[in-house]
């Protein structure tokens, strides 16, 4: 299975997730709504204790069809890649990675042209990290809010026990609470 995201800003590359569910067994759900007789629907679903499907991110060049795989560290069956987006005005992707326990989040800047991945930001929590801020319906599709012409982005975090917004620079070195007057 593959899920595509839009072309990069110059229209020469497309980023996508590739999911390898070959080792994932089917869980049968019952469809009671499409006809008067129910029927089982197989859904690839790893039960507790089973490894999840491996996921990786590729960037395909639309001119020659060649794919560069992003070199994000970690076991693809033990880490999730729930969000990615093109950084405005560049051929870089920003990618979020979660460990399987979902209590460690890492952000990477990945070069679409060669797959290199540079870690820029990391958070750890005792329980779990919520990846979908609830104030913006655009986040349902994985988007980031970019500021200062793509030099920094908004990041929602509950690292201090409350959900706050932070302005994070592209390199992750600057992390300031967001000032509502400057947004």
Q: Under a CB-based contact definition with an 8 Å cutoff, are residues 154 and 147 in contact? A: yes
CA distance 125 to 105: 9
- Residue 182 lies inside a defined structural domain of this protein: no
For the segment 75-95, what is each residue's pLDDT rounded down to a tens digit? 998 899 988 989 888 889 999
Total domains, the chain: 1
* Alpha carbon of residue 182 to chain centroid: 27
39 has a pLDDT exceeding 60: yes
134 has a pLDDT exceeding 60: no
183 has a pLDDT exceeding 50: no
- Residue 164 lies inside a defined structural domain of this protein: no
- Region of residue 170 (phi > 0: left; psi between -120 and 50: alpha; otherwise: beta): alpha
Containing structural domain, residue 94: 2-129
- Residue 98 lies inside a defined structural domain of this protein: yes
- Residue 174 lies inside a defined structural domain of this protein: no
- Residue 146 lies inside a defined structural domain of this protein: no
Tell me what percent of the chain is helix, strand and coil, each rounded to the nearest 5.
5, 45, 45
Q: Under a CB-based contact definition with an 8 Å cutoff, are residues 55 and 80 in contact? A: yes
181 has a pLDDT exceeding 60: no
- Residue 173 lies inside a defined structural domain of this protein: no
Confidence of residue 177 (pLDDT cuts 50, 70, 90): confident
- Residue 105 lies inside a defined structural domain of this protein: yes
CA distance 3 to 38: 29
- Residue 34 lies inside a defined structural domain of this protein: yes
């Amino acid at each position: 299975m593959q899920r595509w995201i839009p072309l990069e800003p110059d229209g020469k590359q497309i980023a996508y997730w590739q999911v390898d569910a070959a080792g994932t067994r089917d869980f049968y759900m019952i469809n009671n709504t499409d006809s008067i007789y129910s029927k089982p629907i197989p859904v690839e679903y790893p039960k507790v204790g089973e490894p999840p499907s491996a996921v990786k991110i590729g960037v395909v060049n639309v001119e020659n069809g060649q794919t560069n795989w992003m070199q994000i560290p970690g076991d693809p069956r033990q880490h999730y890649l729930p969000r990615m987006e093109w950084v405005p005005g560049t051929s870089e992707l920003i990618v979020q990675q979660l460990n399987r326990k979902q209590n460690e989040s890492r952000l990477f800047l990945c070069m679409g042209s060669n797959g290199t991945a540079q870690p820029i930001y990391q958070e750890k929590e005792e329980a779990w990290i919520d990846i979908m801020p609830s104030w913006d319906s655009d986040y349902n599709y994985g988007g980031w809010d970019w500021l200062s012409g793509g030099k920094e982005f908004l990041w929602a975090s509950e690292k201090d026990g409350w959900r706050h917004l932070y302005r994070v620079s592209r390199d992750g070195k600057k992390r300031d609470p967001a000032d509502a007057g400057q947004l």
